[in-house]
Chains A and B, each alone.
Chain A
Amino acid sequence: GAGVSQSPSNKVTEKGKDVELRCDPISGHTALYWYRQSLGQGLEFLIYFQGNSAPDKSGLPSDRFSAERTGGSVSTLTIQRTQQEDSAVYLCASSPLIGFGYEQYFGPGTRLTVT
C-alpha cells in the first residue's frame, strides 16, 4: 500500500519568507509526527498529533513554527519568517496507535534550504 508522502521534496526559500510543508500519512494511522534532521545529526522531535487530542507541541523550537492536521489525516507544517538555521530535512511519520511498538513509518522528507 501507499506509504507516507511528503511535498515538496525540496524547497529553497529566501530568509524571511514563509514556507508550508505537507505530509500525507498512511491511511488509518491515527498518530502523526514531525521531526527535523540537520545534516549529519539525529532526528529532533517537533510536534505530535493523535486523533482529536490536543497536539504535543513541546518540540517546536520557536513560535515561528506551527502545524495543523485536518480531518485526522493530512498535516501541514508552517515555518514563518524563515531563518538560515531552519535549513534541514523535515520528516513526517505516522503510526497506528495500538498496543506496544515503536514502528513509525517515515516519509522521504522535505529538504528545506533557506538562503
Chain B
Amino acid sequence: LAKTTQPISMDSYEGQEVNITCSHNNIATNDYITWYQQFPSQGPRFIIQGYKTKVTNEVASLFIPADRKSSTLSLPRVSLSDTAVYYCLVGDGRAGNNRKLIWGLGTSLAVNP
C-alpha cells in the first residue's frame, strides 16, 4: 500500500481557492487516489477519486500529474462550511479492498471569514 504525505493543517479565507497536495511516491500501477472529507462528529464523506490527469465533479477537482507520485485536491471558492479534515488515500481500486486503505491524520483545513 502506498504511503501518503499531506500537510497537517492549512488556513484559508472565504472565497479563495484551496489546493491540498498529497505525495504518494510509491503508488502502484493498480492504485487509485481517493479523497474524503470529515466534519467534526461525523463519518468521512467521499469527495472525489481519480487515476490520472484531471477529474472534476460538483464539489472539487483532482489533479494528477503523469508520474502519479502526487495529487492535488482543489476546492474552488471555499466557504466556512468547508472547514473539515481532508484525507488522501491511495490503494488498489478493486471493490472491497477499501478496508486495506491506510488513513493518516489528514489535512485540517480552517476557512476563516
Contacts and interface: CB of A to CB of B under 8 A. Distances in A.
Contact of B42 (A92, A105, A108): A108
B42 A44 contact: no
Interface in A13-56: 31, 33, 35, 40-45, 48, 50, 56
B106 A102 contact: no
A111 B44 CA distance: 15
B43 A102 contact: no
A50 B94 CA distance: 14
B62 interface: no
Given A31-B95, A59-B99, A104-B46, A42 B32 contact: no
B106 A42 contact: yes
Best-buried of A42, A50, A102 by chain B (most CB within 10 Å): A102
Interface residues of B, number: 25
A45 B99 contact: yes
Contacts of A91: 43-44
A28 to B, nearest CB: 14
29 contacts: A4-B43, A31-B95, A31-B96, A31-B98, A33-B99, A35-B103, A41-B105, A42-B87, A42-B102, A42-B103, A42-B105, A43-B44, A45-B99, A45-B100, A59-B99, A92-B43, A93-B98, A96-B95, A97-B95, A100-B94, A102-B101, A103-B34, A104-B46, A105-B46, A106-B42, A106-B43, A106-B45, A107-B43, A109-B42
